[in-house]
A and B are shown apart, each in its own frame.
Chain A
Amino acid sequence: MKPTEQQAISRRKFLIGSAAVAAGVLLADKGWVDAQPFFTPEGVDVEGLERAGYLVRHTICHQCGAGCGLTALVKKDAPPSEENMLIFGNQHPEHPQRGMCGRGATAPYTWNSPLRLRKPLKRVGERGEGSFEEVSWDQALDEIAAKVREIVERDGAKAMAFSTHDYKAEMQLLAWPLGSPNVISQASTCNTAGVVGRRWMMGSGFDHHATIDPDYDNIRYVLFPGRSLNAPIGAVHRLAKAREHGAKVVFLNPAHPDVAFANSDWIPCVPGTDAAFMLGVAHVLVSEEKYDESFVLNQTNLPFLLKADGKPLTQEDLVADGDANVFALMSVDGEIVFHDAAGIQPELTYAGTVTLADGSDAAVTTAWNRLVTHLADYTPGNAAQITGVPAATITRVARDLFIMRGVVEDTWYNTRNGNDTDVIMGLMTVNALLGNLDQVGGLGVRLGSKLPGMIGRASDGTVSLITGDSFLMEHTKTIDKEIYPETNATFDAVFQGILDEQPYPITGLMLVGATIFHRDPNVARAIEAIKKLDLLVTVDIVHQEICDWSDYVLPAEMFLERDHIKGIGWTQGISVALQRKVTDPPAGVDARPDAWIMLEILRRAYPQRAAMVGHYDWMSDVATWKNEWMHPIEELRIEGLANAWNRDPAEVRRELEENGFITFQPKQYGLTPYNRPFASPSGRLEVYAFRPVLRGYREHGFATYFDPPAYTMPRAEDEFFLVNGKSPIGGSGVAGLAFPTQYLVDNRLWLNPADAERLGIAMDDEVEVEGLDTGWKAKVNVNVTPRVIAGTAFVYSYSGGHRQKVVADDPRFAKLSKGLAPHWFSKSWVDPITGSNSNNASVRIRRA
């Protein structure tokens, strides 16, 4: 395709309007005044800048997992330093996820932080002591490889477990050739409940938290249950625009989220009761007939017939040799019809008897009828009793949602109380009644980007790289899936493997960017497990608390130092972004790419297995490896992407480099599930989830409220729920350790004024917090604030309770050791089916 004149202009002047000016902001202070003339309100003259010695580098922020668009300006041929680079949000007006928030703003602080890992470290003291010696990369990798080999040979490859927040593919490069399936992320302490809930109602492929999202640009009313919207900040940006047009934003949360400062409503609720709230809303919608009947009839499984045992009536029940995966409905003409037939006109309220294939009669009723009965328990009055939200508020929210054609956001971080899957089911029930799916201002379903991965595995165990290399894996079931059939990743299973050696022993653990101490509940138990390990290796950017417990700590490249192509999530259209290297690591930081680290360990342990993934001894030089291994793979991925969209790969790359992103397809409304069915058994939005019923996990398929099983319920007057949440400043493992976080994020324990008064606690008083289930005790100062509901205590996650030695030893960072980590108190209750863990806890609070 020949670039049009328009494109030519936009290429030359890539930043438009205020965007250009944004880039100019930091110029003068860096002595870059000569670069400034290239920034004008009309745009930025990239070519001119290049001639003047400056590079424009778009990248993807990785100060948290959301991946917003950033742009950097770098001095050509200058040594890497904060002075020689400038980072700001990608200002392209079409960017679907433009940065940057208070975490992104800490990127330059992290890059050369005193807490940055600089050299490979080998533990010399006891685990947890934080005493290390610096060793060479060769020594570290050789010793780790020898140890891995020892474990694999003694305990089997499965005994090696791996965990990461964002570098799964990189870890699979080591784990899979070794023969260990056990690459297990943090999902169960983050999103599992939501993923399972969505999968149960919409099927695989529609279950990820970045796939279903409100159409923020056009939103009219959005309710965020338990979500603080601290990320991605691009969503906040778009929401800000919608607000200009009168959009209403409502948060349902025990604690007041920061984003709610922006003219939003905050509905405080008792922790763990969101499902009751949602069902209360559903009750109002149904009883006041405020629902989208056409959607309910045609896009949900509410008209489907259920048998007395709660299972759906299927073709197999009705016809000899019928298909058990085909479900029955009653048509308005009084005929049984099957869900896969065209032009069905179902009856919503049918109840009666049908004759089964074996000649017996069976009582059947529609899921709708059962829903109406189910919701009878959730009058606004009843829901108010449970949630602590006034009945009138519940009714008002329901009416507003209906009148303003609103949506309920489907949450991200939601593994909190042990009853969270039902929250997602409850809120999707409300969304089903509103029928506002994939519509303008509704809940949009994002389609896949068709960006091929670096490594993948087929169901038969064949692992293939995009390069064509492939091999067969014998054992592909991860240890967590042996215990929790529905989970997407439950790291707790690894602790069980270490401590109880069930279902089999785990003796080695490798972590990449996984802040165990600020991620996994029940820190005391995690410590016990870690102490038992034969090998613990941590790869990270900054010195996290887990490093102090590791045998080896390896410094990894941070996002500013790497190239990578990624899909953009939480958007409506289909977009892909390029993470482009902005700078080398600062002087003294000998950081290496995560993938290279994994491959080198593999090669040093088992050279032949490294060869299976195309890595050889002559690639031990990082620069060579980047050229010969990494670069071709990224090129192949771009090629695959370009081919999938019928574009020229060179052009795709160029456009990615020029703008930082490509939107291959803008949002097409009205597609899912109307013309593109869900992957649920019925292909519809299953308000009555068939999957858990058919698999025998649940008696019925509706969302239900039950008391949180994850902790002892607080009862005495000095007992509280302990909940946590993220701030858009320090709310991530990396940003939590940034210098400004100490000052801009409150690391005190929030208590409601009513509770504080009752317990005689004043602002800033020190209290002792004791976990009712874990017995962990810690002291913390209190912020008496109405930002938390009475009966509940709140802390920001990541911003306090850092106990690593380097933090305690550096007076500049000492504040980070104050405050608490919520996971000291939560006991790690895991749902036996979904594998969803829980981060909330109950605690006793006393004046210290």
Chain B
Amino acid sequence: MAPADLHFQVPIAHWGWTIVWFLWFVGIAGMGSVGYFFVRKAALAYVIFGSLVLGLAFVVSHLGRWWNLPRTLWTMVTNGIFNWSSWMLVGIVLLSVHLILSVIVVASHIPWLQRIGWLKWTATLSRANAYLALYAFLGFMATVYSGFLLTQASGIPLWNTSLIPILWVVSGSIAAIAVIELLYVFGVVESSVSTLAVRLGLGLDAIKLLAVLAFLHVALAYGSAGARIGATAMASGEYALMTWGGVIGIGILVPIAIGLYTVLVKKSKPLLAISSIAALAGVFFLRAVVLLAGAWEPLVL
């Protein structure tokens, strides 16, 4: 029987689809920055930048009192109140810095900007490995942050596991690889890179599959009542279709199948396009199910 005190978070806390989009874009941008270290293509830089902007737009639009943000920040600064124990504050800082770095990287790729003399430094900086390593690191940290954001929300036991940041990093990487594959499809990236990416993606898909199953298993077998409620909603309840069909079927099995075909039989651009889109969708679905299935620990059963 359902517990007497059963509440999912969305109707009350309103962490719904806007946050799903936010987490998705942050994943793409974050792990995309890591990918950029290896594949320094303008298109990739633009995707990262676009994702960041869109992600931030979503998250700000989600703020119930976005119009109060200036006053909030002003009060924080003037009173010297910085709550560094909040992952969200850490995330805000990370994303802001990452956005600045991203702007520089983007600027380095825009020819007409590079014609403006005093902006040349952006290109210089963007060619420095140290800078791009920092860029990658911040992207990675932003992805990790977007996981710990949920882990720290102690009202929702389903989220209170370090598997979430791991899942976020793995699936973020898959998203970044999918973007690189798409760039290959559009002829931006070389075939050799794409082949490498497919192989890497296969491995990550396998890890992700394991991680998702582990996430469910841990919650169902060892989680508290609230975690079980969430995991049950994911595994066999309201969100089962999204979990098995969206996250696992579309998001993992389809890319694995196409990846194996590519590696073992032959490479096909249309198939790779499908596989990339499926992988990106899967990453989106993963964030959606985990978020929407979040429920409070029932105070009584």
Q: A and B: partners?
A: yes
**Alpha-carbon gap, A145 to B2, bound state (A):** 59
Q: Which residues of chain B have C-beta atoms less than 8 A from A753's C-beta?
A: 1
Q: Mark B1-26, 1 if CB is under 8 A from A, else 0.
A: 11000000000000000000000000
CB-defined contacts of A763 to chain B, threshold 8 Å: 1-2
> When chains A and B are docked, how far (Å) is the Cα of A763 from the Cα of B4?
10
* B2 nearest in chain A by CB position: A763
Residues of chain A within 8 A (CB-CB) of B2 are 763
> In the complex, how many angstroms separate the beta carbon of A786 from the nearest chain B beta carbon?
11
Complex CA distance for A753 and B4, rounded to whole angstroms:
14
The proximity string for A residues 729-754 relative to B, scoring 1 for CB distances below 8 Å and 0 otherwise, is 00000000000000000000000010
Closest residue to B1 on the A side, CB-wise? A763
Q: Mark interface residues in A567-590 (1 if CB within 8 Å of B CB, else 0).
A: 000000000000000000000000
Q: How far is the CA of A324 from the CA of B2 in the complex (A)?
A: 68
A753 to B2 alpha-carbon distance, docked (Å): 13
Q: Quick one: CB contact mask for A743-785 with B, threshold 8 Å, 1 for yes?
A: 0000000000100000000010000000000000000000010
Question: How far apart are the CA atoms of A753 and B1 in the complex, in Å?
Answer: 10
Shortest distance from the beta carbon of B257 to any chain A beta carbon, whole Å? 39
Tell me the minimal C-beta distance from B7 to chain A in angstroms. Answer: 15
Considering only residues 378-412 of chain A, those with a C-beta below 8 Å from chain B are none
Name the interface residues of B15-74: CB closer than 8 Å to any CB of A: none
A99 to B2, CA, bound (A): 37
Chain B residues near A784: list those with CB within 8 A: 1
B:131-187 near A, CB below 8 Å: none
Give 1 or 0 for each of A782-798: 1 = CB within 8 Å of chain B CB: 00100000000000000
A756 nearest CB neighbor, chain B only? B1
A315 shortest CB reach to chain B, Å: 66
CB distance from A593 to the nearest CB of B (A): 46
Complex CA distance for A763 and B1, rounded to whole angstroms: 8
The smallest C-beta distance from B181 to any residue of chain A, in angstroms, reads: 47
Rounded to whole angstroms, the CA-CA distance of A763 and B6 in the bound complex is: 13
Give bound CA distance, A784 to B4, whole Å.
Answer: 11
Give CA–CA (A481, B2) in the complex, Å: 53
| Docked CA distance A763–B2 (Å) | 8
A418 CA to B244 CA, complexed, in Å: 59
CA distance A784 to B1 in the complex (A): 10
Bound CA–CA A570/B292 (angstroms): 53
Q: A763 CA to B3 CA in the complex, in Å?
A: 11
CB-contacts of B214-230 with A (<8 A): none
Residue in B closest to A753 when the chains form the complex, CB atoms: B1
CA distance A784 to B2 in the complex (A): 11
Give the docked Cα–Cα distance between A267 and B240 (Å).
Answer: 43
Nearest-CB distance from B71 to chain A (Å)?
Answer: 25
Question: Which residues from chain A contact B1 at a C-beta distance below 8 Å?
Answer: 753, 763, 784
For residue B6, give the distance in angstroms from its CB to the closest CB of chain A: 10
Q: Mark A281-309, 1 if CB is under 8 A from B, else 0.
A: 00000000000000000000000000000
Q: Of all chain B residues, which has the CB nearest A762?
A: B1
**A746, chain B: closest CB distance, angstroms:** 12
CB-based nearest B residue for A784? B1
In whole angstroms, what is the CA distance A523 to B269 when docked?
A: 73
Q: Which residue of B lies closest to A785 (CB)?
A: B4
* Interface residues in A396-450 (C-beta closer than 8 Å to B): none
CA separation between A674 and B129, bound complex, in Å? 105
What's the nearest-Cβ distance from chain B to residue A10, in Å? 44
Minimal beta-carbon separation of A753 from chain B (angstroms): 8
B156 to chain A, nearest CB (A): 23
Q: How far is the CB of B236 from chain A (nearest CB, A)?
A: 16
When chains A and B are docked, how far (Å) is the Cα of A401 from the Cα of B1?
38
Closest beta carbon of chain B to A254's beta carbon, Å: 22
Quote the shortest CB–CB distance from A256 to chain B (angstroms).
Answer: 15
Which B residues, 199 to 227, have Cβ-Cβ distances below 8 Å to chain A? none
In the complex, what's the smallest C-beta–C-beta distance from A82 to chain B, in angstroms? 27
Please, how many angstroms separate the alpha-carbon atoms of A257 and B132 in the complex?
Answer: 70
A648 to B2, CA, bound (A): 65
When each residue 29-60 of chain A gets 1 if its CB lies under 8 Å from chain B and 0 otherwise, what string results? Answer: 00000000000000000000000000000000
Q: Separation in Å of the B5 CB from the closest CB of chain A?
A: 13
Query: How far is B113's CA from A107's CA once the two chains are assembled, in angstroms?
Result: 70
Give chain A interface residues in 248-267, CB to chain B under 8 Å: none
What is the CB-to-nearest-CB distance from A762 to chain B, in angstroms, rounded to a whole number? Answer: 8
Query: Which residues of A (613-631) have their CB < 8 Å from a CB of B?
Result: none
Q: How far is the CA of A841 from the CA of B1 in the complex (A)?
A: 29
Q: How far is the CA of A7 from the CA of B2 in the complex (A)?
A: 58
Instruction: List which B67-98 residues lie within 8 A (CB) of chain A.
Output: none
Residues 258-287 of chain B, each 1 if its beta carbon lies under 8 Å from chain A, else 0 = 000000000000000000000000000000
**Minimum distance in angstroms from B221 CB to a CB of chain A:** 25
Interchain CA distance A88-B59 in the complex, whole Å:
45
Least Cβ–Cβ distance between B222 and chain A, in angstroms: 27
- Point out residues on B near A: beta carbons under 8 Å: 1-2
Q: What are 4 pairs between A and B in contact, CB < 8 Å? A: A753-B1, A763-B1, A763-B2, A784-B1
Binding site for B on A (CB under 8 A): 753, 763, 784
**The 4 nearest A-B residue pairs measured at CB:** A763-B2, A763-B1, A784-B1, A753-B1
